Amino acid sequence: MSQILELRRSQLVSYFQSAKCGNGECYCKTDCSQNGAIYGPRDPEFGGRYGDKLQVAVLSLDPGELYGPQTVQRTMPLPSIKLHKNKHWYRTLEIVHSIVKDHPNDPTIKKDVLDAIHFFCHLNSARCSQNKVGNEKANNLLFEKCRPFVIEELKILKPDILITQGDEAEIIASNFTAIHSEVLLGTPRTNLVVRAIGGKHVRHVHFYHPRHFGGFNRQRRALIVDNKIWEAVRKPIALQDGTLILRVLGSGSCDLDT
């Protein structure tokens, strides 16, 4: 277990104790359960080698299916080798793999993609689930109640790279000041944005949720298959005033060079 993983878990536990939300508890559950049972909450979960390469955080929608609380001490379980390639979790691992692989031309074979489970932190924009049929998106109330807590979680994590999936995740990211933005894929929706999160400059790329098949696959072809995201998270960036350059990402953070 890396030092950064131990530190982030400890910081999150301290926050949960003060906020009374996390470690299996949430004082909002009574309000959120007015229209039916809810299950959770799910704390951010880490791969066992988080921080060994880059600190990558993926912020998705709600957990979809959940039958009890999951605390931050839980390490993400290894995925099944039968994981369906067109489902959300495989595509999430594919995004992470495309970022943390050592060289843009590394072969993206299935074994390598599944191995990405070790190297990132996964968060949900709504920390509880309503267990809707077909993993349908949870009610808006859950997202609204969870938003302040997830914002604080990101301030604690202050990853090198933030990947958001779906509109609710993008809303949370937009709470952090954007100090640089450039188009990655011929549409303003697919930008590389540098955001100030927890006193750190974090590179943020937003993806459609994989259920948005057309939009997501256009992004996937350009950013993952053609390696644009690998290049985007490593290149130096000149900020608008031209005086500050972000370090090229390697095994360290993307703090500012002056």
How high is the pLDDT of residue 97?
92
The more confidently predicted of residues 209 and 80 is: 209
Print the domain residue range for 164. Answer: 3-257
pTM: 0.90
Which token pair is 80?
Answer: 């099944």
Strands 191-197 and 178-183: antiparallel
Report the pLDDT value the prediction gives residue 258, as an integer from 0 to 100. Answer: 28
Mean per-residue pLDDT of the chain: 85
Q: Over the stretch 41-99, which tens digit does the pLDDT of each residue have? A: 999 999 999 988 889 999 999 988 887 788 988 888 887 667 778 788 899 999 999 99
> Under a CB-based contact definition with an 8 Å cutoff, are residues 64 and 129 in contact?
yes
The 56-60 sheet, strands edge to edge:
45-46, 120-124, 56-60, 161-165, 200-207, 191-197, 178-183
Q: What is the pLDDT of residues 170-196, one digit of tens each?
A: 999 999 999 889 888 876 578 999 999
- State how many domains the chain has: 1
Q: Give the per-residue pLDDT at 55.
A: 93
Question: What's 40's domain CATH number?
Answer: 3.40.470
pLDDT of residue 144 exceeding 90: yes
